[in-house]
Each structure stands twice: as structure tokens, then as C-alpha cells.
Amino acid sequence: MRQVNLDNAASTPPLRSVLDAVTAFLPSYGSVHRGTGYRSRVSTAAFEQARDTVGRFVGADPDRDVVVFTKNTTEAINRLAATMPFPRDAVVVTTMLEHHSNDLPWRHRAAGVVHVRATPHGALDMDDLAARLDHLRGRVALVAVTGASNVTGVVQPIHEVAELAHRAGARVFVDAAQLAPHRPLAMRPHGDPGHLDAVAFSAHKMYAPFGTGALVADRSMFGHRPDHPGGGTVAAVTLADVVWAGLPDREEGGTPNVVGAVALAAAIEALTEVGLDRLAEHELALARYATARLAAVPGLTIHGPTAADKVGVIPFSLAGLDHALVAAVLADEHGIGVRSGCFCAHPYVAHLLGLDDAAAATWARRVGAGALRGAPGLVRLSLGGYSNRDDVDRAVAAIHAVAAGEIRGWYDEQPDGSFVLRCGRPALPARFAG
């Protein structure tokens, strides 16, 4: 049975050109910076070229902005949250639509975190954003917003958000993990009212899953002491004093992931060559096709906005069926790889499911007590640039069968709420079987 991967919002497979670039680089791999040997010089050149590629990809100003390589978007956001200077009474404004990674890191840094509402259909409530910024004018240090939701795929008007933020005296950070692989991303010049002060994204969502990400930000958004001090972060050390290195070195402690940087640069070059506008057109047409076909499945509800500006993410539920069971049956009986749950965005999914504050609090208490079964959630189908109509047709036919009760296997619910086929589940390759 041909496996169909419709879990691209979580991670994408590597492009062939990315694998080729890594393979070509590895014979010359060495530790970067300060080494005089050939491999070190090659690796340093490749690492810094990758940094330049990332900067150009987002339209960064090389004189004012800096590219810092991180492990992924989560680490990038935590890095910025830990090092960015904040006034004592500063407030961070974020939204209900955020991945936990663009919410939790800010909670311990600011005097308060304000969450902008979502509309009933799951879009960002721009009127609420404007009202909150007006009310908090002068106190907001940062507006942190997702570029595209990993739950519903809705694309945010990030430059309009930036204009509102700057008008209120705040800077704006965009979590572009779900946006960068699917849409052109431009920080715009610093004098532009819609300029993005900082952005971050991950290579593993951009067809380069080799363990790296990037934070691109105005140099003034970094403090003078690094978040991860250690090797490579200093210019000089005595027993009594430390002279920290300049940027980006002081924010890239330890031996960096040069292979990951090379892979990310290769992916950026490939996506740029194909054309992100062209990719967006393909994915949007395929998402509309999938949405139209799914609408005919009895008992199926698609959640979130139906606006035109979406990346290829479609969350749904089937009446009377646990989301985790649906995902398990699709995988084990039909070879369709999807994802279920809350996608690291609990408040947003609770909103989409219509859970009020009391119901959400009850759910949290149950989980805190160890009762993980029956947790609310959705099934998410997510497309990539390589997805096609045959993939969608396979998935829709399988979902029709599940909705009709055509479940052939016996599934046992696990303590964590997942479902496992009692027998006959496809075996893992022997070297990964444990």
C-alpha cells in the first residue's frame, strides 16, 4: 500500500536537492570559526553563506538585522524572550491563535501577557487587537503573532499587525514556522510602517529536516549577555571578567549545526527557484479541492476560517468518533498519515471546538490528574508542495469509509489517549523495532 503523507504541517520530508547538498558537503565537514585547516575553512564559508541566504530570503537589512541559527523555531522564540530587553512594566501582546511556543516563553518575561481574541470562526480579531493596543499604548513592548496557523492554516495580515504595533510604540515578532515554507516572507525596510522587527522559522518544515532553525531580528533586540553562554560566545575571559563577543557569535554558543545550516540554505534556494508564489497557488487550489470533497462526507465538520488566504491545513472532526481513533484508522488501514490532537495550540483548539472557560479548565484539571483519555481535539490534514489530487482522493475515500463505520481492525485505547491496532499494524523497519 502506497503511504500518503498528509502531515506536512508537523514536518516535511527532505527535498532531493537538499540531500544532495548535504552529501556533497559532508566530506569537507569540520568545526567552524578559528580553525586554519581546509575543512574548517570550507565549513566556515558554508555556514556564513547559509546565514547570508537566510537573510536574503526574508529581506533582512544586513547592517541592522542579524541572523542567528537555532535548533528550531521554539528555541528561537525562547532565545529572543530570554535576551530581549524589557522595561519593568512592559506588556507582551499575543493572540489566541498561537502555537504554545509563541505564548509560553513570553509569560515569564513581561509584567503581563495579553491574548487578543479570535473571531467565532477562528480568525484573528483585528478590531480587538487595535483596541487592546490603543488601551495599552506606551506599555506594549512586543506584539508576537503567528504568520500562519498550524491548526487552521489561516494566514495573518502580519504587515497590518506590524503597523498597528508600531503605532502603539511596540515591536512585532512573527512566528513564521508555518508561513515560510508556503508564502513569500518579507521583513520590509526598517522605515516601512509594516516592517517586521523579528521573524523565526524552522528548516524541518521547509523540506530540510536536519535540526536547525533561524531567528532574524534587529540587533537592538538582543541583550548584551547571551542566553546560552559558553564556547564561542566570548571575546575574552579572565577569572574576574568576561568580554562578550559581538552578534551573532554570542548567541550561537557551542559547536553549531553546520550541516543543518547547509540544508536550510539548499531548501531556500530550491523553494526560491520553484517560486513561493507558484507553490502558494498550487497548495491553495489543492486545499480548495480537498475542502470541497470533504464537505460531502456525512458527519464531518471542517473547523476554522474558510477565507481564501490559507496555507494547506484542514482540521476536521467526525461526529461520534474520537479524533485519535480516526487518525489511527486512517494510518493503519488506509496508509494515510495525518495528525490528531490540539497541535500544541490548546486555547485555539478549545475555541474552535466551542469549549467555554469552565469546560477548558475542567479538561486541564483532568489532565493534571493524569486522565488523558478522551481529551478534546481534531484531525489535521496538511498539504505540501509535492501533494496532489490523488493524495487528496485517497484521503477522502478513506475518511468516507471511516465515517460510514467501516473500521476493520480492533483498536485499544492507550492511557495517553491514542489508539493502537490490536494486531496487524504495519511493522517498523527491523533497526527501529526496539
Alpha-carbon distance of 44 to 41, in angstroms, equals 5
Nearest alpha-carbon partner for 171 in 201, 148, 194:
194
β 411-413/419-421 pair status: antiparallel
- Angstrom distances, CA of residue 3 to CA of 51, 183, 340: 35, 27, 17
One DSSP character per residue, 322-364 reads -HHHHHHHHHHHH-EE-EEE-TT-HHHHHHHTT--HHHHHHHH
Instruction: Based on DSSP, count helices (H) and strands (E) in the chain, helices before strands.
Output: 12, 17
Q: Look up cell 495579553; give the residue.
A: 114
**Catalytic residue check, 344:** yes
Beta-carbon neighbour count of residue 163 at 10 Å?
16
Catalytic residue among 67, 158, 196, 344: 344
Phi, psi of 53 (to 5 degrees): -60, -45
Q: What is the DSSP letter of 114?
A: E
HSE value, Cβ hemisphere, 13 Å, CA-based, for 42: 11
Grid cell digits, residue 275:
517560486
Query: Nearest CA to 94 among 159, 41, 28, 143?
Result: 143
218 forms beta bridges with 65
Map grid coordinates 480492533 to a residue.
Answer: 410
The angle formed by the CA atoms of residues 380, 382 and 386, to the nearest 5 degrees, is 160
Exposure string of 248-277, with b = 16+ CB inside 10 Å and e = fewer, is bbbbbbeebbbbbbbbbbbbbbbbeeeebe
Longest CA–CA span in the chain (Å) reads 72
Angle in degrees, CA 107, 59, 33, rounded to 5 = 80
Which sequence positions are flagged as catalytic? 344
